Amino acid sequence: MTRYLPFLFALLSGFSLHAAEPAPAAKMGAYYGAKTTEYPAWFKDSFLHLREDIDEARKHGKRVILMFTQDGCPYCSALVERNLSQREIESTMREKFDVVVINIWGDKELVGLDGKTLTEKDYSAAQKIQFTPSLVFFDESGKTLLRLNGYVPPARLQAALDWVGGRHENKLAFRDFVAAREVPKQASGEMIKQDFFLQNATDLRRRGKQPKPLAVFFEQKDCPDCEVLHRRVLADTETRAVIAKFDSVQLDMWSRAVITTPEGKRMPVRDWVRQLGVNFAPGIVLFDAAGKEVIRWESSFRVFHTLGMFDYVESKAYRTEPSFQRFLAAKTEHIRETGRDVNIWRYADEPVAAQPIKPESKSPAQ
C-alpha cells in the first residue's frame, strides 16, 4: 500500500490546486449602436458664461440654443447628419441662433444665469436633462422659451427654429404653431390599437389597494411617427412585457372628450395636453402608482430607450436614481455582464448585431 502513497498525494495535490483555480469570467456582451458626432464648425466656441452668451447673441439679433449632448450618442449623430444637413435648417439656425454645446458628463466650468459656477455635468443634472440631444431655447432675457427633450425629426426641429427665431412666443403657443403645420384639417382613419390599452378609460386616478403605474399615449390620426412607434418599437416582446405592468391608455391629443386626470381634475383631453405641455404625437407620459409624473418623451426613440423608460418607472429606480442616463448606463453594464449583447439603436424588426463600439470605450447611456 505504501508504494501507492506518493501517487495518491500527487493526485490529491493536483485536485486541490485545480479546485482552487477561479472559474473563468463570463464573456462580456457586445455593445452596439454608439456613434461619434462631429459638431459643425459654426457652432459657438463658448466660454460657457450663459449670460454673456445671451447678451452677445442679442447684440447680433440672435437667440441662444443650449444643446446637451454626450459622447457616443447616436441620436446626437442623427441630429447633425439628418437635420443639420438640410439647407433650410442650417440656414435658419446659423442666421438666428448661437448654438452652445454642453456635455452632460463634462467637467468644464459653466456660469449659469444665476451667476453660480457649476461643471457641465452638475448644470445638466440641475436642469434635469434626461435625454440627449436636448435643446433649450432662450429669449433675450434668459427665459426658457422651449425645450426639446431628445431627438426630433427635421420638420419638427424646423418648426421649433421658426417659432423661436420668428419671435412667435407672444402670438401663438408652440403646440398650435406645430399643429398648423402637422395636423391635417380633416384627419381620417383610426389610431393604431394595442391589446394592452385599457378600453374606454376616462378616469385616470390611481385608486385601489395596489394601483399600477400609468402610461398615457398621446397620439393622433394620420400620424406616421405613431405608426413607427407601434410597428417597429412596441412590437418588441420584452418591451410589451414591461408595459403589461402598467395601466396604459391611448388618447387622441386633439379630442374634446372629458376625462379625469391623475390629479383628479375633469377636463377635455386637448386641454390636459395643453396643460401638460405635450407638443408632438406620439407623446408618452409615465406616472407612478400615486399619479405623479415621472418621465415623458416625444422623441423618435427606438427599442432600448423606450424599454428603459418603462423599466425606470416600473422598477421604481427613479426613487433612488434621479438621472435616467445613469440608470441606463448601469442597466447596460448589467446586461452585458450576463453575456448578452446590447444595441441602443435598433428597432424590433432589426437584429441586435451591428457594428460595436471599440472595446476600450465606455458604454454611454445615450
Among candidate residues 116, 2, 101, the one with its CA nearest the CA of residue 53: 101
Mean pLDDT confidence for 203-209: 95
Claim: this prediction has a pTM higher than 0.75: yes
CA 151 – CA 160 distance, rounded (Å): 12
Residue 152 has pLDDT above 60, yes or no: yes
* pLDDT > 70 in the chain, percent: 88
**pLDDT of amino acid 190:** 87
Residue 251 has pLDDT above 90, yes or no: yes
Q: Do residues 307 and 297 lie in contact, with contact meaning Cβ atoms separated by under 8 Å?
A: no
Top pLDDT among 173 and 300 is at: 173
**pLDDT of amino acid 181:** 83
**SS3 for 184?**
coil
pLDDT in tens, 74-110: 999 999 999 999 999 999 999 999 999 999 999 999 9
Sign of the Cα pseudo-torsion (250, 256, 259, 262, in order): positive
If you average pLDDT over every residue of the chain, what do you get? 90
**pLDDT of amino acid 141:** 96
Residue 12 has pLDDT above 70, yes or no: no
- CA distances in angstroms from 345 to 32, 63, 204, 303, 356, listed in the order given: 7, 32, 33, 8, 11
**pLDDT of amino acid 4:** 44
Q: Do residues 133 and 73 lie in contact, with contact meaning Cβ atoms separated by under 8 Å?
A: yes
Q: Phi, psi at residue 102, to the nearest 5°?
A: -125, 125
CA 303 – CA 236 distance, rounded (Å): 7
Mean pLDDT confidence for 102-128: 97
pLDDT band at 22 (very low <50, low <70, confident <90, very high): low
**pLDDT of amino acid 182:** 73
pLDDT in tens, 154-163: 999 999 999 9
Mean pLDDT confidence for 229-257: 97
What DSSP line would sit under 284-323, residue for residue?
A: EEEE-TTS-EEEEE-S---HHHHHHHHHHHHTTGGGT---
Mean pLDDT confidence for 8-20: 43
Beta-strand ranges (E) seen in 196-265 are 214-219, 247-252, 258-260
**pLDDT of amino acid 186:** 53
pLDDT band at 187 (very low <50, low <70, confident <90, very high): low
Top pLDDT among 300 and 302 is at: 302
Residue tagged 451667476 (cell numbers): 115
C-alpha cell at 158: 424646423
**pLDDT of amino acid 354:** 63
**pLDDT of amino acid 8:** 38
What are the b/e assignments for 341-352, b being 16+ CB within 10 Å? Answer: bbbbbbebeeee
Top pLDDT among 11 and 117 is at: 117
**pLDDT of amino acid 21:** 60
Q: Do residues 33 and 74 lie in contact, with contact meaning Cβ atoms separated by under 8 Å?
A: yes
Q: Do residues 146 and 161 lie in contact, with contact meaning Cβ atoms separated by under 8 Å?
A: no
24-38, 84-98, 281-295: least confidently modelled range:
24-38
Residue 303 has pLDDT above 60, yes or no: yes
Top pLDDT among 188 and 180 is at: 180
Mean pLDDT confidence for 42-69: 98
pLDDT band at 6 (very low <50, low <70, confident <90, very high): very low
CA 194 – CA 240 distance, rounded (Å): 10
Q: Phi, psi at residue 63, to the nearest 5°?
A: -125, 170
Top pLDDT among 282 and 187 is at: 282
